[in-house]
Chains A and B, each alone.
Chain A
Amino acid sequence: MAGNEVDSIEKIGIIDNVYSGQIIDISKHPNADRLSLVKVRLENEEYEVVCGAKNISLNDKIVFAKEGAILTDPYSEDSKRVKLKKSKIRGVLSTGMICSSKELGIGDDHEGVVILPKDTKIGIPISEVLGDVVFDFELTPNRPDCLGILGIARDLGAIIGKKLKKFDLSYNGSDKENNSNLNITIEDPDLCSRYTATIIKNIKIEPSPEWLKSRLIAIGERPVNNIVDVTNYVMFETGQPLHAFDYEKIQGNKINVRRANNGEKLVTLDGKTRNLDNSMVVISDSNRSIGLAGIMGGENSEVSDDTTSIVLEAATWNSTNNRQTAKKLDLNSQATLRFEKGLKKGLCEIGLRRAINLIMNITNGVTSKNILDINTDINVHPEKIFFHYEKIKKVLGFEIKEKVTEETLELLGFKLKRQKEGWDVEIPCWRPDISIQEDLVEEVARIVGYDDIPTTILSGAPPSSKSQDFIQLREKMSDVLIGLGMYESINYPTTSVEAEKRVLINKEEPKYIKLKNPVNSEFPIMRRSLIEGVLENIANNSKVWKEPIKIFELGKVFHDNGGRKPDEPYYIVGGFAGPRKEINWDSDNSDVDFYDVKGVIESLFEEINLEPDFEVSDNPLFVPGICASIKIFNETIGVLGQINLNIVEKFNSEIEKIFIFELSVEKLFDLIKKNKKYTIKKFNEFSRLPSSYRDLSLIINSDIFVEDLIDQISKNRLVKNINIFDVFEGKGVPKNKKAIGLRLTYQSSNKTITSDEINKSEQKIVKELKNKFDIDIRE
């Protein structure tokens, strides 16, 4: 609700029929050396079980599973759950089981069983002892405080109106100890604005107590030892990453924060040798680097089993530098995840004191009362901002009571002081994301709840609408094409040089627009044509779609123009293949041809009130002779034709005959704008006088264009319309000739036309055609 979303909820250690118990007797198994017979007491009951664990001793408090408990099978790879049954083990009946953490599903350990703290009550359900619920949060990147449990708890507290419990940072320092032996210096305060540390002596490295281990396991961390576990735990608690060095391994009692030398090498805790350069920050002793600042410690100063004293570090690193270094080294650590978000320098002291508190509690460590604190003048986050009383109303359009604002912000850790026109707000050290008043508005609004904010309709007149003609033209063209039976496709705008060469035959190598990091490395350049995509669509569909294939794409192509940004002009490409019409009981079952495609173009242009001209064109993409350029206002704006079979071959299509048209939408739009007056429809008075028609059958040479005949006939003023009802070559027509059937409709605009007049016109037309085109009249 308030920003951080619960992704999942997992219950752990909550298992029925499992109780805390106490070992009251251990004896040897009669038939197996490595097994023991153990008597376990719950509150009022006693059980005898066979146990293989070595880490048990008399009076230990353990976790006991009764018959019927559902446990994790420790030997299955996918954590299968099985129901516990009574069973005989080497001849002895076992009536339950002492559990390992793995069997309980709370850890990975199956070497020994879980030993509970000595003060654990026996006979109580285990969920009350070990049970836990793990919430998995999806966090927003601006809230590094929520990368600590405290941050989440504080937010939750604010929502339910409860203050966070006091957080224990105290510890008993020794008067005898002081940190003055250790000399800490920061060479570049821009990269490290604060460094806090302390020495803790008299430490015994051992496994952490059960509560600490189980909490780390629950959040997916592997327990290591009491020191490392505390540094991790505190990071997950407060959000401040920490590091512990083995004090004995720091040479010369010296810690210096400096830039790495170019070519310097450091073996990090993961055992990898890192090659450093001058942009990176290291922590070094008097001789060598011992840690990669804010990312990972060095192996040479690592806390190990025989460590007895440590230097505990909590520092504030430059976020940008930290992120760049982690990226360069490809080393993403939990520390970087936090530092790269820009932690405030106040947080490191809290982290350090909390870690000292824990270490002192779980070890016999000794430390000084005072910490070492090198605090530079660098401060990238504001400590205070002014928050105007009117700001909430201005941003939200809704008033929140000043008292509610104060309470909410205080629950989140802000400190407010009333002034005349607003509050002085002190920002807590765990909130680097707060720097302006709007941030505070969000804080209040998200806790109060966005649902409480009213809804209003935008006031004021909407801005005057500018021309949307280009979008309208594109929408209109798409609408007409779907009306003509075409489906719209949308292709990825990327391709490869080789793939593109199938359809774009260039004399010289063009300048490709290349991608540095294409998602699919096979397609690393931006497309320069839509034709390739549409041909791919047809080829793919030809295998699965037996009905007519009519597809168009209206989209951008990308052309380098020598300038900073490429051109992104829109094109429309249509493709046709397969049968002309759906198979139907009396439909024409022939395949689509050139004239179907030309018809689509003609209809399309009719709808935008333009009459295109088609001219014979020579284009290597198309079958020679079955290709035309499309012109309006004497300028070529596109092309159509049948795709050359050599090209079709490269597309793995099951259909060979593919027709394509391509139109430049930009050119079309520009021409329409330039010739606006011709594209607006104007009414033509239609004649109410009767018309009549005559049919003419002509034989003409095959190479005469019908359009030329039509143009000639149209010159006659009485001819109102010409339909071509037949075109025929072959049987009954001489070789190299074709027969044309024309229906001429005659109509006069001012009187009823007589059959005499029609006869005269017809004779005249025939005579002119004979002169011009050497036609014959077919009887």
Chain B
Amino acid sequence: MSEKNIKELDDIKQQALLGLSSLGSVDQLENWRVRYLGRKGDLTNVLRGISNLPIDDRKIVGSKANKLRIYLEEEYQVNLSKIKSGNLDIQDAIDITLPGRKVKMGRLHPSTTMIREIIQAFNEMGFQTVEGDEIELEKYNFDMLNIPADHPARDQWDTIWIDSDQHDDLLLRTHTSPMQARVMEKNDPQVRVIVPGKCYRYEATDATHEWHFNQIEGLAVDTNITFADLKGTLYEFVKKIFGPSRKVRFRCDFFPFVEPGVDMSIDWNGRWIEIMGAGMVHPKVLEAVGYDTEKYTGFAFGMGPERISMLQNEITDIRHFYSNDLRFLSQF
């Protein structure tokens, strides 16, 4: 009698283990558990029948059946945790190479990005951002900056004029420098400002020239401001934008509203590229706004963010900037 029962237990064990290996989900495993360990399960039936066995057999069969129950229950737990950790069946794996559901960001215009970077560098040095109008008076754009009418220096700025019945002195500002005069006229020293804005020149557009572009102007006026301060400020700027090891060169240059005048070049792959004009504010400019030239000195500088962006981003044609082609804009 007991041999028959023992064989039955062996069969149950064999079948249960055989079935176990192909189970892939919690539901399937639950069916398995019910089939062998459930209230009407195969093993439960054997355990229930034990009381009908002769006493000698009871012990043997009971012990073996209980061991099997513990064994199957352990197997159940092991497989349950395997399934839950997802480590089982290939048919549930996903193709991780499919592209994700991106939340696609847009982009700022590369000019805006460069302007913000530059402005931030100067804000950190205590320069305060101010802005001015794009339609400007001749007085501020030229006269107050020591660029008198009919002076050849004006040829440096080919001008687009406004056609108006009442006034013939309105123009599209050719640089952001008129804000030098406007800021000083309104404020007593000390002055430390940075001025971004659009400027316009009457010139043909080609790969390196645009009639419409941005400029960033800086101005600092106080007692005891020197050329060394100008150099120090510009070095600091280059460090912030181009990194601490960038080589810089200063050379004499002429702008009517500064004296001495200077241009700054940076080393770009072994070539000197001019990126900025600057100098000490010309006494005539200080006089024009009523500053005491014995007491105050200052420096000013100006640069083109598009030109710097062209270097940094390796843009070879300035005309891309205002094409507003998404094939261009999406790259920055």
Interface residues of A, Cβ cutoff 8 Å to B? 1-3, 5, 140-143, 319-320, 323-324, 340-341, 394-398, 436, 438-439, 441-442, 445-446, 450-451, 453-463, 465-466, 468, 471, 475, 478-479, 481-493, 513-519, 526, 537, 540-541, 544-545, 547-551, 556, 558, 564-566, 568, 581-582, 584-587
Interface check B87, CB cutoff 8 A: no
3 shortest interchain CB distances as A-B pairs: A462-B126, A397-B226, A442-B260
Determine whether the beta carbon of A516 is less than 8 Å from that of B161.
yes
Determine whether the beta carbon of A471 is less than 8 Å from that of B163.
no
Assuming the contacts A457-B236, A544-B327, asked whether A3 and B212 have C-beta atoms less than 8 A apart, the reply is no
- Shortest CB-to-CB span from A32 to chain B, Å, is 51
Determine whether the beta carbon of B192 is less than 8 Å from that of A487.
no
- Shortest CB-to-CB span from B212 to chain A, Å, is 5
Determine whether the beta carbon of A544 is less than 8 Å from that of B325.
yes
Interface residues of B in 181-200 (CB under 8 A from A): 190-192, 198
Interface residues of B, Cβ cutoff 8 Å to A? 98-99, 101-109, 111-112, 116, 125-129, 131, 133-135, 137, 150-153, 155-156, 160-164, 166-167, 170, 172, 190-192, 198, 202-205, 211-212, 220, 222, 224-229, 231-233, 235-236, 249-254, 256, 259-262, 280, 282-283, 297, 321-322, 324-327, 329-330
A sample of 21 inter-chain contacts (CB < 8 A) reads: A2-B251, A143-B254, A394-B226, A396-B260, A441-B260, A446-B252, A453-B228, A453-B231, A454-B232, A455-B232, A457-B232, A463-B190, A478-B108, A483-B106, A490-B322, A516-B160, A544-B326, A544-B327, A565-B133, A584-B99, A585-B99
For the complex with contacts A324-B150, A446-B251, A537-B324, 13 further pairs of A-B residues with Cβ separation under 8 Å are A319-B152, A320-B151, A441-B259, A442-B259, A453-B227, A455-B231, A485-B103, A488-B107, A493-B198, A544-B325, A556-B198, A566-B135, A584-B102
Assuming the contacts A323-B152, A487-B326, A488-B329, asked whether A516 and B162 have C-beta atoms less than 8 A apart, the reply is yes
Choose from B128, B222, B235 the contact partner of A460 (Cβ within 8 Å).
Answer: B222
Residues of chain B lying within 8 A (CB to CB) of residue A489: 109, 324, 329
Determine whether the beta carbon of A541 is less than 8 Å from that of B134.
no
Determine whether the beta carbon of B297 is less than 8 Å from that of A394.
yes
Choose from B127, B167, B228, B256 the contact partner of A398 (Cβ within 8 Å).
Answer: B228
Complex Cα gap A341–B220 (Å) = 30
Assuming the contacts A471-B131, A566-B135, asked whether A513 and B162 have C-beta atoms less than 8 A apart, the reply is yes
Determine whether the beta carbon of B162 is less than 8 Å from that of A450.
no
Residues of chain A lying within 8 A (CB to CB) of residue B236: 457
Complex Cα gap A395–B286 (Å) = 14
Choose from B134, B150, B162 the contact partner of A556 (Cβ within 8 Å).
Answer: B134
Determine whether the beta carbon of B322 is less than 8 Å from that of A458.
no
Determine whether the beta carbon of B321 is less than 8 Å from that of A490.
yes
Residues of chain A lying within 8 A (CB to CB) of residue B155: 141
* Residue in A closest to B109 when the chains form the complex, CB atoms: A488
Residues of chain A lying within 8 A (CB to CB) of residue B203: 519
Residues of chain B lying within 8 A (CB to CB) of residue A455: 228, 231-232, 235
Complex Cα gap A486–B108 (Å) = 8
Determine whether the beta carbon of B227 is less than 8 Å from that of A459.
no
Determine whether the beta carbon of B254 is less than 8 Å from that of A140.
yes
Residues of chain B lying within 8 A (CB to CB) of residue A451: 249-250
Determine whether the beta carbon of A471 is less than 8 Å from that of B226.
no
Determine whether the beta carbon of B250 is less than 8 Å from that of A442.
no
Choose from B128, B131, B297 the contact partner of A395 (Cβ within 8 Å).
Answer: B297
Residues of chain A lying within 8 A (CB to CB) of residue B251: 1-3, 5, 446, 450
- Shortest CB-to-CB span from B203 to chain A, Å, is 7
Centre residue among A141, A319, A466 by max chain B CB count within 10 A: A141
* SS of B interface (majority): mixed
Residues of chain A lying within 8 A (CB to CB) of residue B131: 471
Determine whether the beta carbon of A545 is less than 8 Å from that of B326.
yes
Assuming the contacts A397-B228, A550-B106, asked whether A463 and B329 have C-beta atoms less than 8 A apart, the reply is no
* Residue in B closest to A552 when the chains form the complex, CB atoms: B106
Assuming the contacts A140-B253, A450-B250, asked whether A456 and B163 have C-beta atoms less than 8 A apart, the reply is no
- Shortest CB-to-CB span from A744 to chain B, Å, is 29
* Residue in A closest to B262 when the chains form the complex, CB atoms: A450
Assuming the contacts A478-B112, A490-B322, asked whether A395 and B105 have C-beta atoms less than 8 A apart, the reply is no
Determine whether the beta carbon of B202 is less than 8 Å from that of A436.
no
Residues of chain A lying within 8 A (CB to CB) of residue B253: 3, 140
Determine whether the beta carbon of B99 is less than 8 Å from that of A458.
no
Complex Cα gap A547–B252 (Å) = 50
Determine whether the beta carbon of B162 is less than 8 Å from that of A514.
yes
Determine whether the beta carbon of A487 is less than 8 Å from that of B329.
yes
Assuming the contacts A320-B150, A323-B152, A540-B324, asked whether A3 and B252 have C-beta atoms less than 8 A apart, the reply is yes
Residues of chain B lying within 8 A (CB to CB) of residue A323: 150-152
Residues of chain A lying within 8 A (CB to CB) of residue B212: 492-493
Complex Cα gap A458–B125 (Å) = 9
Determine whether the beta carbon of A513 is less than 8 Å from that of B135.
yes
Assuming the contacts A394-B226, A442-B252, A513-B135, asked whether A584 and B326 have C-beta atoms less than 8 A apart, the reply is no
Determine whether the beta carbon of B282 is less than 8 Å from that of A515.
no
Determine whether the beta carbon of B232 is less than 8 Å from that of A485.
no
- Shortest CB-to-CB span from B309 to chain A, Å, is 12
Complex Cα gap A139–B325 (Å) = 38
Determine whether the beta carbon of A491 is less than 8 Å from that of B322.
yes
* Residue in B closest to A140 when the chains form the complex, CB atoms: B254
* Residue in A closest to B254 when the chains form the complex, CB atoms: A140
Assuming the contacts A455-B228, A458-B192, A458-B232, asked whether A436 and B283 have C-beta atoms less than 8 A apart, the reply is yes
Residues of chain A lying within 8 A (CB to CB) of residue B112: 478, 488, 490
Residues of chain B lying within 8 A (CB to CB) of residue A485: 103-106
Choose from A438, A459, A551, A582 the contact partner of B280 (Cβ within 8 Å).
Answer: A438
- Shortest CB-to-CB span from B168 to chain A, Å, is 9
Determine whether the beta carbon of B108 is less than 8 Å from that of A488.
yes
Choose from A394, A446, A492, A541 the contact partner of B260 (Cβ within 8 Å).
Answer: A446
Residues of chain A lying within 8 A (CB to CB) of residue B111: 490
Residues of chain B lying within 8 A (CB to CB) of residue A471: 129, 131
Determine whether the beta carbon of B228 is less than 8 Å from that of A454.
yes
* Residue in B closest to A519 when the chains form the complex, CB atoms: B211
Residues of chain A lying within 8 A (CB to CB) of residue B233: 457-458
Choose from B107, B150, B202 the contact partner of A519 (Cβ within 8 Å).
Answer: B202
Complex Cα gap A490–B309 (Å) = 15
Residues of chain B lying within 8 A (CB to CB) of residue A526: 135
Residues of chain A lying within 8 A (CB to CB) of residue B164: 513-514
Choose from B250, B256, B326 the contact partner of A541 (Cβ within 8 Å).
Answer: B326
Complex Cα gap A550–B324 (Å) = 12
Choose from A459, A465, A475, A487 the contact partner of B107 (Cβ within 8 Å).
Answer: A487
Complex Cα gap A105–B291 (Å) = 58
Residues of chain B lying within 8 A (CB to CB) of residue A466: 128
- Shortest CB-to-CB span from B111 to chain A, Å, is 6
* Residue in B closest to A450 when the chains form the complex, CB atoms: B250
- Shortest CB-to-CB span from B217 to chain A, Å, is 15
Determine whether the beta carbon of A456 is less than 8 Å from that of B228.
yes
Determine whether the beta carbon of B105 is less than 8 Å from that of A483.
yes
Residues of chain B lying within 8 A (CB to CB) of residue A513: 135, 162, 164
Determine whether the beta carbon of B249 is less than 8 Å from that of A482.
no
* Residue in A closest to B190 when the chains form the complex, CB atoms: A463
Complex Cα gap A483–B116 (Å) = 17
Centre residue among B150, B166, B190 by max chain A CB count within 10 A: B150
Determine whether the beta carbon of A519 is less than 8 Å from that of B160.
yes
Complex Cα gap A671–B162 (Å) = 32
Determine whether the beta carbon of A482 is less than 8 Å from that of B108.
yes
- Shortest CB-to-CB span from A399 to chain B, Å, is 11
Determine whether the beta carbon of B261 is less than 8 Å from that of A442.
yes
Complex Cα gap A455–B239 (Å) = 13
Determine whether the beta carbon of A395 is less than 8 Å from that of B109.
no
- Shortest CB-to-CB span from A572 to chain B, Å, is 13
Residues of chain A lying within 8 A (CB to CB) of residue B108: 478-479, 482, 488
- Shortest CB-to-CB span from A374 to chain B, Å, is 25
- Shortest CB-to-CB span from A118 to chain B, Å, is 45
Residues of chain B lying within 8 A (CB to CB) of residue A550: 106
Assuming the contacts A395-B260, A488-B107, asked whether A468 and B129 have C-beta atoms less than 8 A apart, the reply is yes
* Residue in B closest to A447 when the chains form the complex, CB atoms: B252
Centre residue among A143, A463, A541, A545 by max chain B CB count within 10 A: A463
